Amino acid sequence: MGEGMGRRELFGRGGRLVPAVGAAALLPAALAPDAAAADTETRVRIPLPGTWAVTVTITDLPDFPPEPGLFAFGADGLLTGTGGASKIVGFGTWTATGAATFAVDYRHYVISDDGKVTGTVRVKQAGTLLSPDKLTMTGEAAQVDNDGNVIVTLHASSKGERYGFGPADLGR
């Protein structure tokens, strides 16, 4: 992907990368190795479960406008998300890495203009809950073809605000 690649060309190639980057952005290598070992006690303390409206900024493409997305973080560690541009739903998991931090592993299909699955977008993100109603996420997403070859990797940052019911209202 060259400099100056526009939105139409990015999506015309079946990229549809934005919603995955939004579930907004890959887990930095610096993330502590014990992130996967976050215990149940930590997961219960982080008030992340609920629905979130996010805005994703692809930092590698400064001329690419920010994109909206929606995410649902389940109390069981499941994640569902979508983006405004691609209309593709993605699925993944999240885990608490601390009292106010979390990690996300998320994927969605890449669909060409003729409706064929041409690969997946694999996203890993590190997130921070700034308050019960605000979060940020950073990381990267890799678009992978059906043979497992990485086509492009992009970095992004996301900001989100909770809407709907929060953790206290989820019947815990």
Give the CA angle between residues 122, 79, 32 to the nearest 5°: 65
State the number of CA atoms in the 13 A half-sphere of 134 facing the CB.
3
End-to-end CA distance of the chain: 46
Across the chain, what does the average pLDDT equal? Answer: 77
pLDDT score recorded for residue 124: 94
Which segments of the chain have a pLDDT < 70? 1-46, 84-86, 165-172
Q: If 0-12 CB within 10 Å is exposed, 13-18 middle and 19+ buried, where does residue 125 land? A: buried
Domains of the chain plus CATH, in order, are: 7-163 (2.40.160)
- Give yes or no for a contact between 90 and 108, defined as CB atoms under 8 angstroms apart: yes
Closest CA to 14 of 163, 144, 170, 171: 144
Q: Which helix (H) or strand (E) holds 18?
A: helix 18-22
pLDDT score recorded for residue 85: 66
Closest CA to 26 of 58, 69, 63, 67: 58
pLDDT score recorded for residue 84: 66
pLDDT score recorded for residue 138: 97
